[in-house]
Amino acid sequence: MPLLPLLSQRYPATSKGEVFVRIFDRVPLKSVPANLITCGGLLLGVSAIGYAFSGQPEMAAWFIAICALVDKLDGTVARLLNATSDFGIQMDSFSDLITFGVAPACMVWNAAAQLDAGMWGSEGSVIGLPGSLILGLLCASYVVSAALRLAKFNVTTAEHPRMFHGLPTTLAGGLTSTLYLTAIELGFDQHAMMKVFPLLLALCAGLMVSNLPLPKLRKANSKVFFAGQLVLGVAVYVLIPLRMAFWVPLAVLVGYVSIGFPLGIRATIRAEADA
């Protein structure tokens, strides 16, 4: 059947009147901006994967860091436009799996095999096993852990509105990318870096699937702390696109995780004791 007639094809009337075939769903205009931002982040993640496989891990890391900034924007825009939806949440999760799950694993996999082939290449050896096999398993565990983390978040976020449980995938991707970029910026030996980066993926994988509580960032009640949050936020959104001072966003992420997990554990213990 030709497409145009199908668009307006009438079917026999039902108790509710005539039925029309609808080829595409109606999309509320107010939801378009946030979904476009999400799709943009997804394409940036795909670009990061392309850079990783073309032997440009630094560009891949930069694109992943940009994705972390974009990931915050879509939710903010959706809330401002009162356009939050289950579809947007699911779309964001699929995007996060690519940008913060698959892309960092591809970046580390290719960088390690390229820069430290003696350890992680096909001729290398780790704990008596082929280095390429261990590297593949570490990267695969990271991707699977990211998928499990996102699925868990989607079904439990309403139960824990003030806490993350486990390391969010955005933070895992942000930590991996900014650490790599900071090390390059400070002139560290990339060959030596790649001896430990696959192990960093394994650490992030374990934290993502853990139940460790991490308080969600909220607007500070104190004007001083809120000003600090604002300054750091603006700095991160300016420095990463300009590709400079990557140690600043790295310090913010490391500080948040290092302080947040102990605070979350203490708050959880107190809540259980009071229950």
**pLDDT score at 16:** 55
Total domains, the chain: 1
Which of these, 106, 100, 14, lies nearest to 52 by C-alpha position?
106
pLDDT (tens digit per residue) in 37-65: 999 999 999 999 999 999 999 999 999 99
How distant, in Å, are the alpha carbons of 160, 184, 214 from that of 66?
28, 17, 23
**d(C-alpha 47, C-alpha 70), whole Å:** 14
pLDDT tens profile 226-268: 676 777 788 888 889 899 899 999 998 999 899 989 999 998 8
Residue 104, in any domain of the structure:
yes
> Would 22 be classed as within a structural domain?
no
Furthest-apart CA pair in the chain: how many Å? Answer: 73
- pLDDT for the residue 56: 94
Cα–Cα distance measured from residue 170 to residue 101, given in angstroms and rounded to the nearest whole number: 9
Confidence (pTM): 0.85
Per the domain annotation, does 35 fall within a domain?
yes
Q: Is 245 among the domain residues?
A: yes
Q: What is the pLDDT of residue 265?
A: 92
User: 172 pairs with which residues across the strands?
Assistant: none
Identify whether 96 is part of a domain: yes
Q: Assess if residue 16 is contained within a domain.
A: no
DSSP tally for the chain: helices H, then strands E: 12, 6
Crossing angle for the helix pair 57-80 and 169-185, to the nearest 10 degrees:
140
pLDDT averaged over the chain? 84
Residue 18 inside a domain? The answer is no
| pLDDT for the residue numbered 115 | 81
Residue 59 included in any domain:
yes
**Rounded distance between C-alpha atoms, residue 51 and residue 169, angstroms:** 20
For residue 126, the domain's CATH number is: 1.20.120.1760
Print the domain residue range for 167.
30-274
Report how far residue 207's alpha carbon sits from residue 196's, in angstroms, rounded to the nearest whole number: 17
Q: How many Å separate Cα 207 from the centre of its chain?
A: 14
Q: Which residues of the chain fall below pLDDT 50?
A: 1-11, 13
